[in-house]
Structure 1
């Protein structure tokens, strides 16, 4: 994997505040920032703070951040964007008082999957998304737990995509996410390998 400089990416929506430090990037999300399309809620939100670089086929992107969420729908992880109606966000989102690991896959309308990970709070979480063939493969781990498969989602192999770290704060002001690393490299060689 090749470590990326934070300056290599372009924001989809600039965050409220950004500080680059020796130990990473501190991103403060704007209140009301989110990414969602229609399903169940009926609204469209496209104000996520995603720092993106090109994401060609047969590559992977990894993002690591400190999990320290306290409010409803605080979220961070990896964002993969093709256009306004085709994107995937994968990471941790706090829902009903519990941190959940999951993904929102959007193809016109959004599809959300989430599983509780209450023991992950306070740890460094790494999200990894590989792009191979017609698929995105999402994996996650913490500094003390192994890789686990989160989601396999469709992505047109002909699509031009971009990917990178993201965060949102739909319900409050003041969420600051500490991203510690961002890297790119070769995609995972197998869907079912033990570790990428």
Structure 2
């Protein structure tokens, strides 16, 4: 999916407004879907929150039946208050929170570990009733090679590192359009 700089800014502002609305009666701005039809499309999206460069929350949807604009708003609120790894974001933290949005492609099967391209493919592992996901930027941010990336998706899904060496796992891949507040401020 391609988005204009203006559409990216609209989504980032909507994510920030969604998070601040947890603490205020602020309403989300209405989006003109006639002018910005891409924001009405149905796509999965994740919102990642960082504070002083450290992960503060990350939640999203692999696919969505809602317009992208609404999906991003929902994911932003969930990342702020529902990520079980962190306490809910406090109002006093809002100025220090940075927002990154990842718009996901449709998932596709990865039939071989050789098909994984680091930095391009996010991973979804579905195994024994569990599901885990890593965004494509994760191995880049953590300087992972393919083996470390596979270890990480196994661990994220609740399996031991190296589990992927024991069998061919049911992996899906996806690509993502990733953008954040900092990069758009610089442009």
TM normalised by structure 1 equals 0.31
User: Where is the helix percentage greater, Structure 1 or Structure 2?
Assistant: 2
TM normalised by structure 2 equals 0.32
User: Where is the strand percentage greater, Structure 1 or Structure 2?
Assistant: 1
Higher relative contact order (CA 8 A, sep 6+): 1
Which of structures 1 and 2 has the bigger CA Rg? 2
